[in-house]
Structure 1
Amino acid sequence: MQTQAPSRTSSDTAASELLRRARELQPVLRQRAAQAERLRRVPDETIADFHRAGLFRALQPARVGGAELHPADFFDICAEIAQGCASSAWVLSNLAYHHQFLALWPDRAQQEVWGPSPDTLVGSSYIFARGTARQVDGGYELEGQWPFSSGIDPCGWCVLGAMASDAPGEPPRPRYFLLPREDYEVLDTWHVVGLRATGSKDVAVGKAFVPGYRSLSFDEVAAAQAPGLALHAAPLFRVTMQGVGGFVLLPVLLGAARAAANEYVERTRQRKTTVGARSQAELPGVQDRVAHVEALLDTAQLVARRSWCDAMDSLESHPAIPGALGARLRRDSAFCARLVTQAVDLVFAGTGGAGLQETDPIQRMWRDVHAGAAQFGLQWDVSGPAYGRVRLGLPSGMPGLGV
């Protein structure tokens, strides 16, 4: 069972149409899931399907033909895709949000990426400590090696984070750098137990020149002062990952856990106990498990949608998400991840020995949910205390949160 989503929040029928296309792809993605794990990346056929369905362009500016969806609607789309394949949904969510992020760059940078084709995909790794940049005439010289660049294989460009000083004697500050494919190397480093098909490989750069117009200050982005905002006025483009980053990835966990719960329910309807051939569906403990699992998932879904709507409502009247709200949003995304992992743990425990088979989809969903919950933005130990500090009148300790 799945809760009925609240009324659509996007201004046109694009959200409903893209959601319908996502649902149609579910069975195809489910059939490809084992192949995707073997490849350790999303199959080319799936990337092509996402392009044909327009899913990658859900958050892209209308100026270049994108849908500019409300993020709550895109959350629903990614959760639907994750019911077919969590890794595919993870890549979709990441790369679609990079279209939203590219709107913040100077027009010249946007034209370089989208001019040849608005379907061009952009990868990323925002681990600033893994790279260094030195200011040179006309731009920066960048070098480093960055991990966890999800979905990088089909991308023509990549955004990398590094530390840089903008003037002699100034301490280095985080900056973003946009590079074309010929300026970086993709290293085959992704050998993991969960979200295997995300292809979240390392990206290496050896002293590449990045012109100034292809660099953005982290501080400018966090304060909603990026140059691209002069071209894109919609609140969508003032969404920054400091406050809502966890909700970009949470639908993957939610959709995968929902698929595992549905699979468990369907199996249990058919299964008999090993003693007495009694229907497992008649056991009170099983009934309680189903109710508990679906209550956890429904709660996570409702809290997530409320959070996205609160964030977007705030941006209607504020240039950036206020720090106190950002702290709550981080708390909510991490708490929702806890709810979802509790739900999938209950499902996995209820499957018995069958769930241990390598070919069983429930064990893959269980692995994928736990792998996703390990992401920094979804860790309670990070976001929970930050919210507690803000409520108690102390600094959050989170860079870019503004409080």
Structure 2
Amino acid sequence: MANDVLEQIEGSRVQLGAQAAEAEELGTLPTHTADILRKTGVVRMLQPAKHGGLEADPREFLDAVIMTAESCGAAGWVAGVLGSHPWQLALMPESVQDDVWAADPDTWIASPFSPFGKARKVEGGYLLSGRWPFSSGTDHCEWAWLGATVVDAEGDGAGADGTLHMLLPRSDYTIIDGSWNAVGLRGSGSKDVTVSGAFVPAERVIAEQKIVSGVAAREAGRSENLFRMPWSAIFPNAITAAIIGMCRGALAASFDYQRDRVDESGRLVREDNFLLAQLSECHSEVESARVQMMANVGRMWDIVGSGKEVPFELRAAARCDQVRGSRRAVEALDRLYSHSGGNALRSDRPMQRFWRDAHAGLNHAINVYSGPYRAYALTRMGAAVPPGLRRDV
């Protein structure tokens, strides 16, 4: 069934590419683009089968995100971010999953997870308030995961319980129109959302560290291989997959553009051996990022399939490779762009949009390299990894 998703995306390439400029102008994916993504099933690939999902191999999901981003960076970004959220919802009580999916398995969940909210404990749950930027694809979602820390009645004590992820219906938060105006990924509609004193039942709250450590999957009784995969194999790689797809899209646009391009001397640039070498090297770098990511996910998939838990050493290495993969792909794109001439800057050339979108994706917090790089190096040295570094591995 995952093959059906890939075939649907392949058949939608022209439509996705044609609406990219419209999405950028609107500052959000057009409704008909969201409809295309729903039809492909990409956002349901990591969703429990019981709730209309495909429970696909994560590598198939990542390939679907890459393929989508090749046609439209913003659509691929939204597919990757929103497509990772069902995996997390599967770790929640069955009643919560029913709340979201019982009426419509194609119900989408936004985020972000950053702990910009303040939650105060009350009987049966929490009262949540705050403002969160970067809620990608939020216009097309009916629920949102929002990160928060617990505070007392005076607003003190934030962080004592770690970051909590709280699930809210659309009626409990407000989307701030006009809050998303960025140089890249404009079409992702990553707007701000606000909450003012919303009650969040305890059953719709989960500790971030339980998700990352795998405790949440065990407590939920999930035995399926998909939901026993490490968090770091899912969400971070979904971001990197979208970036790789954007760089692939830029490469395809570049090969098409360079085919008949003439330089200042009137010579066809395809006769320039140095340029040809640069194009081919950039292709190889982008593909290397994809291959390394898939190999790491495959190793984890095999370990989980054997009934074992993925060791921290492999998780640390894969997280390091994930961050480096994002950077490797974008660095290759930069080299490509520097050999593309002035006409590549024109707004009617798709290369410039892919370039801007990829750089915007690289700025996501999941691609900050200091923590994952340090965690891996310390692990290789046999040294203790501080809790703060272990938290996102």
Checking the alignment, whether the CA contact within 8 Å between 1:327 and 1:387 is kept in structure 2 is yes
Q: 5 Å matches for 1:93-172?
A: 93-128=80-115, 130-164=116-150, 171-172=160-161
1:355-370 equivalent positions in 2, closer than 5 A: 355-370=344-359
Corresponding position of 1:5: none
Equivalent positions of 1:47-66 (< 5 A) are 47-66=34-53
Does residue 400 of the first structure (1) align with residue 386 of the second (2)?
no
**Equivalent residue, structure 1, for 2:294:** 305
CA distance in 2, matches of 1:123, 1:71: 20
Aligned with residue 228 of structure 2, among 238, 246, 250: 238
1:30-84 CA distance string (max 9 Å, x none): 1100000001111100111111222221111111121111111111111111111
Q: Which residue of 1 aligns with 2:244?
A: 254
* CA distance 1:351–1:401, change in 2 (3 Å): closer
Structure 2 residue 251 is the aligned partner of structure 1 residue 289 = no
CA distance in 1, matches of 2:325, 2:213: 26
Matching residue's letter, 1:193 = V
**Aligned letter for 2:391?**
G
Matching of residue 85 in structure 1 with residue 76 in structure 2: no
Change (3 A) 1:223 1:385: closer
Residue by residue over 1:351-393, the C-alpha shift from the partner in whole angstroms, topping out at 9 and shown as x without a partner, is: 1110121222111111111111111212333322221122221
Query: What's the C-alpha RMSD, in Å, of the aligned pairs?
Result: 2.1
Question: In 2, are the aligned partners of 1:242 and 1:400 still within 8 Å (CA)?
Answer: no
For 1:172 and 1:380, the matched residues in 2 are separated by 25
Question: 1:315 is matched with which residue?
Answer: 304
Are the aligned partners of 1:327 and 1:401 in contact in 2 as well (CA < 8 Å)? no
Could you tell me how far 1:231 is from its partner in structure 2? 5.7
List aligned pairs for 1:174-189, cutoff 5 A: 174-188=163-177, 189=179
Q: Does the 8 Å CA contact 2:58/2:234 hold for their aligned counterparts?
A: no
Alignment-mate amino acid for residue 138 of structure 2? I
Give the AA of the match of 2:214: A
Give the residue type in structure 1 aligned to 2:89: L
Map of 2:315 onto structure 1 = 326
Displacement, 1:348?
Answer: 1.2
Corresponding position of 1:3:
none
SS in 1 for 2:140: coil
Shift of 1:95: 1.1
Tell me the residue number matched to 2:261.
271
Q: 1:44 to 1:235 in 2, by over 3 A?
A: same
**Residue 338 (str. 1) matches residue 338 (str. 2):** no
Q: Deviations over 1:297-326 (max 9, x none)?
A: 121111011011122223234665322222
Alpha-carbon distance in 1 for matches of 2:14, 2:222: 36
- Mark the CA change 1:382 to 1:126 in structure 2 (over 3 Å): closer, same or farther: same
- Mark the CA change 1:230 to 1:299 in structure 2 (over 3 Å): closer, same or farther: same
**Kept in 2: contact 1:243–1:321 (CA 8 A):** no
Range with bigger deviation, 211-220 or 99-108: 211-220
CA–CA distance in structure 2, aligned partners of residues 132 and 88 of structure 1:
31
Instruction: Report SS of the residue matched to 1:329.
Output: helix
When structure 1 is superposed on structure 2, of 136-145 and 231-240 the one drifting more is 231-240
Partner amino acid for 1:210? V
Deviation, 1:89, is 0.7
Q: 2: CA distance between counterparts of 1:327 and 1:236?
A: 19
Q: Does residue 32 of the first structure (1) align with residue 19 of the second (2)?
A: yes
Percent of aligned pairs with the same residue?
32
Q: 2:3 aligns with which of 16, 26, 41?
A: 16
1:280 matches 2:269: yes
Extract unaligned runs of 5+ from structure 1. Answer: 1-13
User: Cα distance 1:319–1:230, how it changes in 2: closer, same or farther (>3 A)?
Assistant: farther
Question: How many positions carry a matched residue from both structures?
Answer: 386
Change (3 A) 1:161 1:320: farther
The whole-number CA distance in structure 2 between the counterparts of 1:324 and 1:230 is 25
Structure 2, unpaired ranges of 5+: none
Contact kept, 8 Å, 1:107 with 1:228, in 2: the verdict is no
Say if 1:239 and 1:227 are closer, same or farther in 2 by CA, change over 3 A: closer
Question: Which letter does structure 2 place at the counterpart of 1:250?
Answer: T
Query: Counterpart of 1:388?
Result: 377
